Amino acid sequence: MHHTSLIATIVAGLGLAFVFGALANRLKLPVLVGYLLAGVMVGPFTPGYVADQELAPQLAEIGVILLMFGVGLHFSLKDLMAVRKIAIPGAVVQITAATLMGLGLALALGWTVGAGIVFGLALSVASTVVLLRALQERRLVETGRGKIAVGWLIVEDLAMVLALVLLPALSGMLGGEAAAPGPGGVAGAFAITIGKVVAFVAFMLIVGRRVIPWILHRIAHTGSRELFRLGVLAIALGVAFGSAALFGVSFALGAFFAGMIMAESELSQQAANETLPLRDAFAVLFFVSIGMLFDPMVLLREPLAVLATVAIIVVGKSIAALIIVLAFRRPMSTALTISASLAQIGEFSFILAGLGVSLKLLPEAGRDLVLAGAILSILVNPLLFVILDRVLPRMMADEREAAGEPPLIAAAQPHALLVGYGRVGKRVAEGLKGRTPLVVIEDDPERAAELRAAGYETVNGNAVLPEVLLKAGLDKATHLFVAVPSPFEAARIIEQARAANPKAEIIARAYTDADVELLKSMGATHALVGEDEIAKGMLARAPKKKLAAAAGGH
């Protein structure tokens, strides 16, 4: 058995993550607790097998690349520009606040100012993987709140790229090992880094924007699914790696741009689907690799310092983010979601702490604290979201109330009720125009605003909530069109609707025959499968005339 450390690391990582993840699930804990524990088991601080400590973080990086690529696929340049007004000041203020808090703790521990700055910076950046997984699980990536959080993350990411470049240049001044001065000193390093980032963005927008969709279309035309999948992966990984090598930006940022450019192509949805399984597998290895770095003994050695570190990450940073978002007059629900998303640290923090130690700026103890803070804050993060899931729906309903939704006239009379105004709902709404009074329920605030502007009577909210259905006048509805993509949500909506309104005609959107069964058992009058309707549409355009019996032989 020679040279199999890569295989062993993947096998041990995925295998143990599966076992402990399943166990965690059994105990009703978040699965990532299991993944982290699997990492601790194969890490160097616990007895038994030790996975390769060089390879594990690299595998994790692939997870980061695929995650950011996937997020980019749901983003447009317009989205990015729309959130910059809040994301840039937000991230800058939060980084400053976290750095000052870290500096304070460091000074209290008797470290130097230089150590404090590195330590504080390490506490200021959230982990891409943790944030995106939390948002994806709740389908928040494409909401207004989710987009602000992602924009914020990208600003943090850029700030860290700068910090990693400037730290060596500033090291001498801060009392660490002085690096060989580069051309132009600190200002020069700063200018070069910014210049490279600008060059990267320009390159992607000018060259990438033409080349990537072109390649994608060429592959799609080959008709080979295998080649398409391969092409998508090659572009995602290639652009991420290439931009890191050529422009010095992070893998994550490169991948995000690759995705964002692909998003302009109508093949993007398909591209996104192709990378899902791989993305999830590597994201698991990310948590394993973090667990591997954790030395449980630090909890006994320095319990108070660990506690203070975690408090800065989870409480201090959250309060800073909360204040900033509220200062921008965003609702409390948005502020809470963003705070919770960012109340953790991860991969960048390790890199920064590692660099600090190698420059002799940060004591070893500092790195241990960063690692402990990371694993503990990642453990706490899902709990924050569980609490949010409890309080947010109610809070958002109140906020909408306070914002003063225009009164619904149609809801008080017999009307049709449409849930979801996406690809399907939009067409239904068009077709219903002038045929019946209509009320639309749409979850996405921006879409709801568009709907209102277009003159539809709209309730902004998740139709799974009973109060949302009631507000839309469910009891008076003659027809209910459930055009949401998730059959599970559709089932919950239909179940409640049927209980409250036994007479309404309920027409639902389904994907499979199993969905049809489920939705009908909940009370749907009809459930339509896309494929069936396409076949019907095709047949409607087929020759109408019956062949004469004599001529109809074979």
The residues binding ligand AMP (CB under 6 A) are 419-425, 441-444, 447, 462-464, 483-485, 489
In the complex, what is the shortest distance from the CB of residue 111 to ligand AMP, in angstroms, rounded to a whole number? Answer: 49
Angle at CA of residue 384, ends 460 and 40, nearest 5°: 140
178 CB-contact burial (10 Å; exposed 0-12 / middle 13-18 / buried 19+): middle
Contact 342, 355 (CB under 8 A): no
- What whole-number distance in Å separates Cα of residue 370 and Cα of residue 354? 10
Closest CA to 157 of 293, 13, 349: 349
CB of 472 to ligand AMP, least distance (A): 10
How would DSSP label each residue in 101-136?
HHHHHHHHTT--HHHHHHHHHHHHPPPHHHHHHHHH
CB of 471 to ligand AMP, least distance (A): 12
> Nearest distance from residue 490's CB to ligand AMP, in Å?
8
Q: Which two tokens stand for residue 250?
A: 């992070």
- At its nearest, how many Å lie between ligand AMP and the CB of residue 525? 19
Our CB check for ligand AMP shows the closer of 185 and 485 to be 485
CB of 528 to ligand AMP, least distance (A): 13
Shortest Cβ 542–ligand AMP spacing (Å): 28
CB closer to ligand AMP out of 17 and 484: 484
Which residue lies nearer to ligand AMP by CB, 342 or 428?
428
Q: Which tokens hold the place of 286?
A: 């990310």
If the CB atoms of residues 443 and 457 are measured against ligand AMP, the closer one turns out to be 443
Smallest gap, in angstroms, from Cβ of residue 269 to ligand AMP?
10
Q: Given the complex with ligand AMP, which of 149 and 345 has the nearer CB atom?
A: 149
Q: Which of 529, 466, 530, 533 is nearest to 498 (CA)?
A: 466
Nearer to ligand AMP, 368 or 443 (CB): 443
Residue 272 vs 464, nearer CB to ligand AMP: 464
Least distance between ligand AMP and beta carbon 451 (Å): 10
Which tokens hold the place of 506?
């309920």
Question: At closest approach, how far in Å is the CB of 488 from ligand AMP?
Answer: 10
Cβ(341)–Cβ(134) below 8 Å: yes
- Smallest gap from Cβ 229 to ligand AMP, in A, equals 23
Q: How far is the CB of 331 from ligand AMP (least distance, A)?
A: 18
State the pairing for strand pair 477-482/457-460: unpaired
Contacts of 7-12 spanning 24+ positions with Cβ under 8 A:
8/49, 8/51, 8/52, 9/51, 9/52, 9/55, 9/56, 9/59, 10/59, 10/285, 12/42, 12/49, 12/51
Say how far apart CA 209 and CA 260 lie, in whole Å: 9
Give 144 or 331: the residue with its C-beta nearer to ligand AMP: 144
Element containing residue 438 per DSSP (H, E) = strand 438-442
Residue 506, SS3 per DSSP:
strand
DSSP state for residue 480 in the 8-state scheme: E
Nearer residue to ligand AMP within complex by CB, 171 or 462: 462
Q: If DSSP codes are grouped into helix, strand and coil, which group holds residue 282?
A: helix
Name which of 63 and 420 has its Cβ closer to ligand AMP.
Answer: 420
Tokens read off for 150: 């992602």
Give the residue nearest to ligand AMP (CB): 422
Closest CA to 63 of 313, 247, 303, 240: 240
Q: Which residue has the tokens 């921008």?
A: 328
Nearer to ligand AMP, 102 or 146 (CB): 146
By beta-carbon proximity to ligand AMP, the closer residue of 74 and 367 is: 74
Number of H helices, E strands in the chain: 24, 6
| Closest by Cα among 78, 67, 422, 66 to 264 | 78
Q: Which residue has the tokens 């199993």?
A: 514
